[in-house]
Amino acid sequence: MRGVLRLLAKPFTETAGLARWMLVAGVAITVIFLVLALFAPWIAPYGFAQSSADGVRFPKAGAPSGDHLLGTDRLFFDVFSRVIWGARTAIEVVVLSILICVAVGVPLGLVSGYYGGWMDRILVMIMDALFAFPSFLLAIVFSFLFTDIIGGSVLAVALSLSVIYIPQYFRVVRNTTVSAKEATYVEAARAIGASDGVIMRRYLFGNVVQSVPVLGTLNAADAILTLAGLGFLGLGIQSTDAAEWGHDLNRALADAGSGIWWTGLFPGLAIVLLVTGLTLVGEGLNETVNPTLRRRRLLPVVMSARQETTMTEGGN
Amino acid sequence: MTRSGSLPRYILQRVLLVIPMIWVILTLVFVVLRVAPGDPVSAALGGKLSDEALDQRRAALGFNEPLIEQYWDYLSAVARLDFGTTFSDNQPVLQVVRDNGGATLSLTLAAFLLALVLGIPLGLVAGRFRDTIPDVVIRMFGILTYAAPVFFVGFLLQAYAAKPLGLPTSGASSPITAFTVEPVTHILLVDAFLSGDGAAIEDVLKHLVLPALTLGLLVCGVFIRLVRVNILQTMQSDYVEAAEARGIARGKVTRRHAFRNALVPVITVIGLQFALLLGGAVLTESTFNWPGLGNKLVDYINDRDYGAVQGIITVFAVAVVLISLLVDIVNALIDPRVRY
């Protein structure tokens, strides 16, 4: 337990000054959004697709007021509620897609790196091709496919996001496995008769998953943007199924010229804040993990006063 | 160590590597668009044509042949630079690319130039004055430009900047310009210059400002981060220390020694940014109703037009691979360490 706590505290204790401040800010922002997502039904005053309360219809594109803190949009929806429900959608999609990425990318990379051979070559080639292709276009194509198969749901979007991030997990895990499988402890395990499955699960797994959390945080920021982008193009989740910031911004675009600023400003700010928070966390982690960027606090070195006698004696 | 003779060999190797790369991407595109349920022809045209006509179209497009044969036809067609036809409006994809690619090209190039002009100096300043107020401000700016989706930046510009500045927010030109300018290169900006019509040039440039700024800010953030980190690493290197030890003034060391070397990796990353630029272009075009290829792609997707989607994605794929090849070759010409 203490070991886990120390591991979690490591990024904070190993950074100083500005870097630590940025990391703390990032964690704070991320936690706020997690709370919004978890408790959305209690925090949001209305439902995400609710256009009336107590039999009274909400105003159409009404300005922010006491009843509707951030106003209402052209579909009579309450903007404040949709921003909060949007946090839930975003977190749901991102968590789901990272889980899929880890569930597919890690074992695939482990097996591919461990056994090598032609299967490894083909997988590397496919993953490299996926990685080289513009990720947003890839997400567009796959969401086109998945929404055709399973409809425009959270799962369909999460799957299309996974496709663009799996190559990164595969690559990291595979390359670590390739170098780790030559290590002495693996050889020792093999010598005592451990099977391939046991070596991969018990010996290699723990060593190759260490870079996954950093990758996950950095991808989460990117995933939020991709999700919003798909929603903006109308390829993601429909606005009556769930609140999605990107989709709301698309509808708000028509308002931009007519002085209705509240329908677009708030979902947009929500995206910017959450992505900034996740990026700060990712960068903070990266600065502690990547030694070329790290700048530790310098401890002043106090030299004891020189003494004439020791100088002359030590000189010889 | 490096003989000059190894450059052609490096280029040859790199060119040969492109072929399997393109093949894998094409295969992926083919597989992805064929595993979709239902058949593509009725997805795009169902309800618009009679059943017989649909059958005829299906046969004409080769959908009744075995998959392996369709796959072969697709690959050999791409090798002949034939990217197929769209189903919904029956146009050759190459023509769609010609008509809309120019707008995408001028948008991405303008955005890219803007990003370089803004991003590199800001990155240099941030890196040089690490952990000072300018560094914090510039870094936050860099993170914000990355964190703000292009369509949100576009929304803000449309809501707050367009009216005071008198800039248009939709399309690449006013209808009158599009009508009067003769399409020669199919790149509106170039055509406007060729026509020599001052009003047309001004109109096209005015339409370009907000979209280019929106897309440029996205890439600018990447340059800031990259240049900053490179400067930090260069400033710690031995030769910078050696220069300082020789008593050269700090400012001169930074300018003459650190900056130049810190900018070399930027060239490599420029190639990688092309992918980001293309993705961002789709969203920017959609935000500003820009008549580019990305906007067209979204239209075809909403029409469920598999032929067009497959063709346009294939063109994008080939373009991306070729550009990364070009960047690698330029890199090898500049930096001998690349061509081992």
pLDDT tens, position by position, B175-193:
777 777 777 777 777 777 7
Q: Which residues of A219-235 are buried (b: 16+ CB within 10 A; e: fewer)?
A: bbbbbbbbbbbbbbbbb
Residue of A nearest to B295 (CA): A233
The minimal CB distance from A134 to the residues B38, B159, B279 is found for: B279
- The pLDDT value given to residue B36: 64
- Cβ atoms B325, B310 nearer than 8 A: no
**Cβ separation A17–B131 shorter than 8 A:** yes
- The pLDDT value given to residue A1: 61
- Cβ atoms A238, A250 nearer than 8 A: no
pLDDT confidence tier of residue A30, bands split at 50, 70 and 90: very high
CB atoms within 10 A of CB B77: 15
**Cβ separation A253–B287 shorter than 8 A:** yes
| Higher per-residue confidence, A217 vs B2 | A217
- The pLDDT value given to residue A295: 53
Q: What average pLDDT score do residues A28-36 get?
A: 93
> Strand, coil or helix: what is A262?
helix
> pLDDT above 70 covers what percent of chain B?
90
Nearest to B70 by CA among B317, B307, B315: B307
- Following DSSP, what letter does each residue of A278-301 receive, concatenated? HHHHHHHHHHHH-TTT--PPPPPP
- Cα A160 to Cα A146: distance, rounded to the nearest angstrom: 7
**Residue A297 pLDDT more than 80?**
no
Q: Which residues of A fall within a CB distance of 8 Å from B155?
A: 249, 252-253, 256, 264-265, 268
**Residue B271 pLDDT more than 90?**
no
Q: What is the enclosing helix (H) or strand (E) of A57?
A: strand A56-57
pLDDT confidence tier of residue B153, bands split at 50, 70 and 90: very high
pLDDT confidence tier of residue A195, bands split at 50, 70 and 90: confident
**Residue A8 pLDDT more than 60?**
yes
| Higher per-residue confidence, A105 vs A193 | A105
CA-based nearest distance A269→chain B, Å: 8
pLDDT confidence tier of residue A103, bands split at 50, 70 and 90: very high
- The pLDDT value given to residue B59: 72
- DSSP 8-state symbol, A183: S
- Cβ atoms B128, B170 nearer than 8 A: no
- The pLDDT value given to residue B2: 45
For the purposes of burial, counting CB atoms within 10 Å of the CB of B97, is it exposed (0-12), middle (13-18) or buried (19 or more)?
A: buried
Is B126 within 8 Å of chain A by CB? no
- Cβ atoms A113, A120 nearer than 8 A: yes
Least confident of A166-170, A271-275, A299-303, B116-120: A299-303
- The pLDDT value given to residue B214: 92
> Strand, coil or helix: what is A244?
coil
- The pLDDT value given to residue B1: 43
Q: Which long-range contacts link B75-80 to residues 24+ away (Cβ below 8 Å)?
A: B75/B23, B75/B26, B78/B26, B78/B314, B78/B318
Nearest to A141 by CA among B31, B291, B272: B31
Is A16 within 8 Å of chain B by CB? no
Least confident of A58-72, A209-223, A251-265, B134-148: A58-72
Q: What average pLDDT score do residues A66-73 get?
A: 76
Tokens of A73: 């949009």
**Cβ separation A141–B32 shorter than 8 A:** yes
Nearest to B339 by CA among B7, B3, B71, B1: B7
The minimal CB distance from B152 to the residues A129, A221, A271 is found for: A271
> pLDDT above 90 covers what percent of chain B?
9
**Cβ separation A250–B151 shorter than 8 A:** yes
- Residue B21 Cα distances to A279, B254, B324, B338, angstroms: 31, 40, 11, 20
- Cα B339 to Cα B313: distance, rounded to the nearest angstrom: 31
> pLDDT above 90 covers what percent of chain A?
22
Q: Which residues contact B129 (CB under 8 A, 6 or more apart)?
A: B135
Is A219 within 8 Å of chain B by CB? no
- The pLDDT value given to residue A125: 85
For the purposes of burial, counting CB atoms within 10 Å of the CB of B43, is it exposed (0-12), middle (13-18) or buried (19 or more)?
A: middle
For the purposes of burial, counting CB atoms within 10 Å of the CB of B4, is it exposed (0-12), middle (13-18) or buried (19 or more)?
A: exposed
Task: Check residue A76 and give left, alpha or beta (phi > 0: left; psi -120 to 50: alpha).
Answer: left
> Strand, coil or helix: what is A29?
helix
Rounded to two decimals, the ipTM of the complex is 0.82
**Cβ separation B155–A234 shorter than 8 A:** no
Q: Which residues contact B114 (CB under 8 A, 6 or more apart)?
A: B212, B213, B216, B217, B220
CA angle B325, A105, B265 (to 5 degrees): 35
**Residue B5 pLDDT more than 60?**
no
**Residue A57 pLDDT more than 80?**
no
> Strand, coil or helix: what is A196?
helix
Three-class SS of chain B:
CCCCCHHHHHHHHHHHHHHHHHHHHHHHHHHHHHCCCCCHHHHHHECCECHHHHHHHHHHCCCCCCHHHHHHHHHHHHHCCCCCECCCCCCEHHHHHHHHHHHHHHHHHHHHHHHHHHHHHHHHHHHHCCCCHHHHHHHHHHHHHHHCCHHHHHHHHHHHHHHHHCCCCCCCCCHHHHHHCCCCCCCHHHHHHHHCCHHHHHHHHHHHHHHHHHHHHHHHHHHHHHHHHHHHHHHCCHHHHHHHHCCCCHHHHHHHHHHHHHHHHHHHHHHHHHHHHHHHHHHHHHHCCCCCHHHHHHHHHHCCCHHHHHHHHHHHHHHHHHHHHHHHHHHHHHCCCCCC
Q: What average pLDDT score do residues A89-111 get?
A: 92
Nearest to B276 by CA among A18, A92, A123, A164: A164
| Higher per-residue confidence, B168 vs A32 | A32
Is B147 within 8 Å of chain A by CB? yes
> Strand, coil or helix: what is A303?
coil
**Cβ separation B151–A135 shorter than 8 A:** no
The minimal CB distance from B147 to the residues A126, A249, A276 is found for: A276
**Residue A239 pLDDT more than 70?**
no
Q: What is the enclosing helix (H) or strand (E) of A142?
A: helix A135-150
Is B233 within 8 Å of chain A by CB? yes
| Higher per-residue confidence, A234 vs A273 | A273
- The pLDDT value given to residue A303: 60
Between positions 27 and 46 of B, the ones with CB within 8 A of A are: 28-29, 32-33, 35-38
Q: What average pLDDT score do residues B148-159 get?
A: 90
**Residue B98 pLDDT more than 50?**
yes
Number of H helices, E strands in chain A: 14, 2
CA-based nearest distance A229→chain B, Å: 7
pLDDT confidence tier of residue B29, bands split at 50, 70 and 90: confident
- DSSP 8-state symbol, A203: I
| Higher per-residue confidence, B40 vs B93 | B93
Q: Which residues are A56's β-sheet partners? A: A53
Q: What is the enclosing helix (H) or strand (E) of A229?
A: helix A212-232
Nearest to B21 by CA among A132, A166, A121: A132
Best of A135, A225, A265, A278 to disrupt the B interface (most B CBs within 10 Å) is A225
For the purposes of burial, counting CB atoms within 10 Å of the CB of B76, is it exposed (0-12), middle (13-18) or buried (19 or more)?
A: exposed
Indicate the pTM of the whole model: 0.84
- Cβ atoms A134, A181 nearer than 8 A: no
The minimal CB distance from A229 to the residues B32, B283, B317 is found for: B283
The minimal CB distance from B298 to the residues A221, A233, A257 is found for: A233
Q: What is the enclosing helix (H) or strand (E) of A48?
A: none
pLDDT per residue over A129-149, tens digit each?
A: 888 788 888 898 888 888 777
pLDDT per residue over A252-296, tens digit each?
A: 888 877 778 888 889 999 999 999 999 888 877 776 665 555 555
Nearest to A100 by CA among A48, A54, A49, A154: A154
**Residue B335 pLDDT more than 80?**
no
pLDDT confidence tier of residue A314, bands split at 50, 70 and 90: very low
> Strand, coil or helix: what is A72?
strand
Q: Which residues of B fall within a CB distance of 8 Å from A279?
A: 143, 146-147
**Residue B333 pLDDT more than 90?**
no
- The pLDDT value given to residue B246: 87
- The pLDDT value given to residue B191: 79
Q: What average pLDDT score do residues B45-72 get?
A: 74
- DSSP 8-state symbol, A77: -
- The pLDDT value given to residue A194: 84
pLDDT confidence tier of residue B200, bands split at 50, 70 and 90: confident
Top mean-pLDDT range of A62-66, B227-231, B280-284: B280-284
Is A254 within 8 Å of chain B by CB? no
Q: What is the enclosing helix (H) or strand (E) of A234?
A: none
Q: Which residues of A fall within a CB distance of 8 Å from B304?
A: 148
**Cβ separation B146–A279 shorter than 8 A:** yes
Average pLDDT of chain B to the nearest whole number = 81
**Residue A166 pLDDT more than 90?**
yes
Top mean-pLDDT range of A10-24, B25-39, B280-294: B280-294
